[in-house]
Structure 1
Amino acid sequence: MTKVTHEFDLYGKHYTLEAGELAKQATGACIVKCGDSTVLLTAVVSKERKDYDFFPLTVDFIEKMYAVGRVPGGYLKREARPSEKATLTARMIDRPLRPSFPDGFRNEVQIVATSLVADQVNAVDTISVMGASAALAVGGVPFEGPLACVRIGRNADTGEFLVNPTYE
């Protein structure tokens, strides 16, 4: 697959979606960027349908310490278990995706969101939802997408509503 890039601006922020270059063994994969924040999303779907009475969707959000410029040192040199923020981000990706799959779809689906760069200005959780949807769409997975996610904030001084406000 050749590299495909789509760029757009939304409420003063520049977004980039790239697909076709990384994670070629996954069913679908894409990189989403907003500012310097970058997330790699991969989606893997089993080929055979399982005889489950539920939809086996697994979503993992992996925070890498190098994404914020830290390298594990001292006694523990490995990445730790998922933080509460990582668990909540995985749930935030799961909740809008789960009902968008067709009824009776029982193939195992695993989505992994890996934070590659977190610039501490733009949130990686909102762009992860958009990236998961794009990875499923690139992989040709049947679902009622695409999806997007926004965070709405309110400026305390002016009362103005902000779309995807920065941490500042």
Structure 2
Amino acid sequence: MVELDKSISFDGRDIRLKVGLLAPQAGGSVLIQSGDTAVLVTATRSESREGIDFLPLLVDYEERLYAAGRIPGGFLRREGRPPEKVTLTSRLIDRPLRPLFPSWLRDDIQIVATTLSMDEQVPPDVLA
């Protein structure tokens, strides 16, 4: 996979895009950094299934507690159910992407945006 490192300035902040640096088994990956916030976005595709007449696009946004420096404590040490904001952010990513795919495409496509680290100044959902 080709590695590419690009930096752009948006709204007075530097946004750094690193393509192909992480997740080499994914079809494509980009690490987006601004300040101390880092989001890894990966995309994969598999062959189409028989008998479907829609685009099976899955967009998943994951905001982990370790990104903010909070490790769950207590008996189970699990993160629990994701908040409603995560579902809404996934939909905000999905809605503008869906019309960009050709109408004949029926391949399973999965896009996962994972927050790796968080800064209070730069919200990770905007970078995703």
Superposition TM-score tier, normalisation by shorter sequence: over 0.9
TM-score (norm 1): 0.72
TM-score (norm 2): 0.93
Q: Deviations over 1:123-165 (max 9, x none)?
A: 111211xxxxxxxxxxxxxxxxxxxxxxxxxxxxxxxxxxxxx
CA–CA distance in 2 between the matches of 1:100 and 1:2? 23
Map residues 15-164 of structure 1 onto 2, 5 A cutoff: 15-46=15-46, 48-51=47-50, 52-128=52-128
Q: Which has the higher strand share?
A: 2
User: Does the residue aligned with 1:96 lie in a helix, a strand or coil?
Assistant: helix
CA–CA distance in 2 between the matches of 1:76 and 1:121? 31
Structure 1 unmatched ranges of 5 or more: 129-168
Identity of aligned pairs, percent? 47
Displacement of 1:78: 1.6
CA–CA distance in 1 between the matches of 2:105 and 2:2? 29
CA–CA distance in 2 between the matches of 1:6 and 1:25? 21
Q: Which residue of structure 2 lines up, in the alignment, with residue 145 of structure 1? A: none
Higher relative contact order at CA 8 Å, sep ≥6: structure 1 or structure 2? Answer: 2
Displacement of 1:36: 1.2
- Give the partner amino acid of 2:87: T
CA–CA distance in 1 between the matches of 2:78 and 2:2? 34
Structure 2 unmatched ranges of 5 or more: none
Question: Does the aligned pair in 1 maintain the 2:115–2:124 contact within 8 Å?
Answer: yes
Displacement of 1:2: 4.2
CA–CA distance in 1 between the matches of 2:61 and 2:9? 25
Displacement of 1:80: 1.7
User: Does the residue aligned with 1:41 lie in a helix, a strand or coil?
Assistant: strand
Displacement of 1:57: 0.4
- Give the partner amino acid of 1:81: R
Displacement of 1:76: 2.5
- Give the partner amino acid of 1:37: T
- Give the partner amino acid of 1:3: E
CA–CA distance in 2 between the matches of 1:25 and 1:32? 18
**Structure 1 stretches of at least 4 aligned residues deviating more than 2 Å after TM superposition:** 48-51
